[in-house]
Copies of this chain bind each other. A is one copy, B any other.
Amino acid sequence: MIIITNDDGIVAPGIKALVEVARQFGEVMVVAPDSPQSGQGHAITLNHPLKLRKVNMFSGIDAYECSGTPVDCVKLAKSVLLKGKKIDLCVSGINHGANSALNIIYSGTMSAAMEASIEKIDSIGFSLLDYSFDADFEPAKYYVHKIIDSVLKNQLGLCKLLNVNIPACPLDDIKGIKVCRQGDGTWVEEFQEGIDPRGEKYYWLTGKFVSFEKTEELDNDINALKNKYVSIVPSGHDLTYHSEIQNLKFLEII
């Protein structure tokens, strides 16, 4: 059984592309948000109840839209819809836009995949570097197929989560795949300020991603993507800064 979800919402073309590929590998179930959830990170819904509605959107496939976040979708799929059933894989996406580098922590797409990986389910988040609704997912589908095939055959081992980003270009221009680390960079933010119809000031988030990578080495996803490689970052949920534990031991004797 393969669970499919995303953060752009169940009507996004990206999840349709992912369903088309994933269904070739066996039984699938779609549980995805009923509205766009970009930037929802690892949000879960605690303060109010969730709704699930069966939808007939992908011919011959069990599909549900959920009123919650991408992580809620995975929790409901596992604990309610597929309770006790073996889940072989969770795939999330194909996201409309990059989730490379730091974006993994803001991304609902990657957080949904991470949620499944926490449950020791092999999980892959796929993103295409094209934010438009009518992006061309055909080149991406070629790599999504290859990667799902290999993960199902080989299984992931200790690391249960892959962050896959795919350059937005014709298939022939993609140079291959790089398994690499999360690139270093940040968002330089601005808020567009304005006045709403009631005369109140508002702030609307906008920004530009800036890479901190100093070399052109392909050991990180920022550079791999810039050079037209598909990037795969093996990822986890241990946020400990292990190498600094010793250096901060002085805090034990304050």
Contacts and interface: CB of A to CB of B under 8 A. Distances in A.
A196 B49 contact: yes
A191 B234 CA distance: 30
A102 interface: yes
Contacts of A202: 49-51
A41 B43 contact: yes
Nearest to A239: B235
A91 interface: no
B234 A245 contact: yes
A137 to B, nearest CB: 19
- For the complex of A and B, list the 4 residue pairs with the smallest distance between their C-beta atoms, beginning with the closest: A41-B42, A49-B202, A159-B244, A159-B241
A242 interface: yes
A44 interface: yes
A44 to B, nearest CB: 4
A132 interface: no
23 contacts: A40-B41, A41-B71, A42-B43, A45-B205, A46-B205, A49-B196, A49-B204, A51-B200, A79-B190, A80-B193, A104-B239, A105-B237, A158-B243, A158-B244, A159-B247, A159-B248, A162-B248, A179-B245, A179-B251, A181-B245, A233-B240, A235-B239, A239-B239
By secondary structure, the A interface counts as mixed
A186 interface: yes
A176 B241 CA distance: 21
Q: What is the interface residue range for chain A against chain B?
A: 35 or more
A201 B158 contact: no
B245 A177 contact: no
Interface stretch (A14-22, A55-63, A147-155): A147-155
B118 A102 contact: yes
A156 interface: yes
Contacts of A243: 158
Contacts of A45: 39, 205
